[in-house]
Amino acid sequence: MSELKIFKGNDGDLEVRCGDVDTQPIHIAGIFSDREYISAGLFSSQGLELKERVRLYGGATTLGKTGVTEHHPLSEDRTVVTVGLGESSDFGPNSKVPGHELMERIRRGVGSGIKDAATLLKRSGREAGVSITCLGIPGKISNDEYVGATIDAAIRSGFVGNKAFVGMEPGKRITGIRVLDCGLASPESIATVGEAAVAENKARRLFEEPHNVVTPTYLMESFLDMAILHSGNGMKVKVNFGRTTILAHAEENALAGLASVALASPQAHFVHISYNGNPGDSRRFALLGKGITFDSGGMSIKPSEGMDEMDGDMGGAATVYGTLEGLARIHVPINIDAYVSITENNIGPEGSKPGRRLDYGKDHTEKPFPKVYVANTDAEGRLVLSTAAAFADRKDVEAMISFSTLTGAMVLATGAYYTGGIIANAHDPVVDPIVKAFLEAGDRTYELFQHFRPVPGQEDRIKDPRGGIRNLGGPGKWGGAFDGYHFVNAFTSGVPYVHVDMAPALEAVSDQTYLNSRFGAPPVMATILALSKLVKERTDKI
């Protein structure tokens, strides 16, 4: 993946580059249907505005449509892909269109334009960079939001499958992306969004690769490599347990849940990485990640239809990975402890069977964790997350935030247009700001979340009549997402807990054109912005 580079011109303009754009670029320009205003536009050296060029030579102006105008002398023989953004009044200060929808309109326009550019290059057998120039817009959204959405989409559109940029074989591809901001946005805003987008692409690479590439050991090594790379920014590997240690010391290290799932897998790892972005602050957040690199369901085997997509069941771990990467790249002054359980959920003679009993040992107060009855081996996500929570409980953390593709129930609840659901208590002085930051960041990035509040008595669904708790709620199949939350919450020892069930991210949305991938996006961008917002709010109060 090419690194992000930001250049500052003498006139204060900023140029964001990712990859090689020195070859004659294809320009992407957004234009309004009334042609009264140009967004993300282009002026030729002769001063001919793009809207006039579209009038003379054609091009898309209808919302969501694209068009190509090629090789006209009035723009120095360059190719321009035009993208319709709708009416200019939609972006005006009195517009009734919500700001986050306008930002998403820009993202999808950029994504469509880059797709058209890639198709053009493949057809013509050449390679080139893509250039986007951000000009002013009427004012419904801020310049930082406008330029940020453009940069976000440009970088994220540049990822497809396992390739760094759209386009495929050398000689017929996009070689890089350049965004010019014309002095509109703040350097801090551009750097934050740009670096976060690069970090999310790195997480998407892990999310998208097949299970024979991203094995448990590969995923573990990816975390270790990242920690080494950012060791100068306060990142450090604190714990790296392998399968032998996990199985041999499950109870004393609160690893029983992960050990149970790992019995039929030849590879298993438990990783604890710390990021100390603010050494002077004693407060720390714990991020918990589910890293199941393939999920067959175990003895409670899944249906064959759709099982080939279960290499995406490590999306929670990928989110934690990308978040750590982004926080370190941006130098966010926050302290994080990341706990990631990594293995496969396989079938084998040594594998865990329904009816197994687990003992996690004791919490930091020497109070025993609840005994666990494994009712269903396909509810393995809450088992490995409970290991992460129980291990984090022994440390001094302010709050825990977990990420996992946990339940099909959440997909049914939100649909594919949401990145996931946030399950957390309300009216909590620690939890409320976290949930609020995620919801606002989700609107800004279109990694949308729905907040679900647990209610008293709901936790009774996971009580086991033999004592302790079970990893499957009942009676009935309803409310499964809440069952997962309550199970993991039983191992937090009262530490404020926010659960992000990102199972909907496994469902790609075709008209999100800037996400050229098999799955949706792991919510790395939203998580980085949410944590950055929390830090800023705390700083402002001082």
The Cα–Cα gap between 358 and 344 comes to 19
Dist. CA 454–CA 491, nearest whole Å: 16
Contact 264, 298 (CB under 8 A): yes
CA atoms within 13 A on the CB side of 295: 25
Task: Cite the active site residues.
Answer: 302, 382
Tell me the three state secondary structure of residue 386.
helix
Distance between CA 225 and CA 439 in Å, rounded? Answer: 31
- Please answer whether residues 65 and 84 qualify as being in contact, where contact means their C-beta atoms are separated by less than 8 angstroms: yes
Close Cβ partners of 296 (under 8 Å, ≥ 6 residues apart): 302, 307, 310, 344, 345, 346, 347
Peptide bond into 216 cis (omega under 30): no
Structure tokens at 128: 């080139």
Residue with tokens 């901001």: 181
Query: CA–CA distance from 29 to each of 25, 63, 80, 245, 481 (Å)?
Result: 13, 13, 7, 56, 43
State how far the Cα of 5 lies from the Cα of 151, in Å rounded to an integer: 12
Neighbours of 303 (CB within 10 A): 7
Instruction: Give one DSSP letter per residue of 109-151, joined into a string.
Output: HHHHHHHHHHHHHHHHT--EEEEEE-----SSS-HHHHHHHHH
Of 478, 473, 319, 252, the C-alpha closest to 382 is 473
What sign does the CA torsion over 440, 446, 449, 450 have? positive
Strands of the 469-470 sheet, one edge to the other: 357-358, 372-373, 469-470
Q: Which amino acid is at 505?
A: A
In the Cβ-directed half-sphere of 9, how many Cα atoms lie within 13 Å?
A: 12
Could you tell me if 486 and 461 are in contact, meaning their C-beta atoms sit under 8 angstroms apart?
yes
Give the pairing of strands 420-423 and 174-180: unpaired
Choose among 220, 383, 214: nearest CA to 300: 383
Measured CA to CA, the distance from residue 63 to residue 84 in angstroms comes to 4
- Helix 216-229 crosses helix 315-330 at what angle (to 10 degrees)? 10
Query: Is the torsion defined by CA of 441, 37, 512, 157 positive or negative?
Result: negative
Q: What angle do CA 373, 374, 377 make, to 5 degrees?
A: 175
Q: Cα(72)–Cα(59) distance, rounded to whole angstroms?
A: 13
